[in-house]
Amino acid sequence: MDNGISTRYVCGTFYDEFSDDKTPHAWLIADDMIIIDITGDQFKYDASLKNDRPVFVEQADDFYELFEVDERRDVCEFRGLQFLGDDSLRMLRLYETICSYL
């Protein structure tokens, strides 16, 4: 939002066909077509999902088709980290780290 990019939050669930396992995952979508995912590599050891890309900024590929979308909503306007109370300093550091990759 600081750079004028409008995004939507998407949350989906992967349902493993060979077990009762359910795996949630969330990402952003810009311009209704570009996926922004900074946590995809959390699945690098998951035999069913096999994703080792730490940052993904492209149109959706087969990996994202594995998830059943549970929620899709606009990202709310950022009102400042001061609303987070005791966690605000930690969140500011995380936000600055993420922005350094943009």
For the stretch 9-37, pLDDT in tens is: 999 999 988 888 899 999 999 988 899 99
Round to whole Å and give the CA distance between 39 and 54: 6
Contact call for residues 17 and 37 (beta carbons, < 8 A) = no
The two tokens of residue 46 are: 């998951």
Confidence of residue 62 (pLDDT cuts 50, 70, 90): very high
DSSP 55-67: -EEEE--HHHHTS
pLDDT reported for residue 77 = 62
- pTM beyond 0.85: no
Domains of the chain, residue spans: 7-76
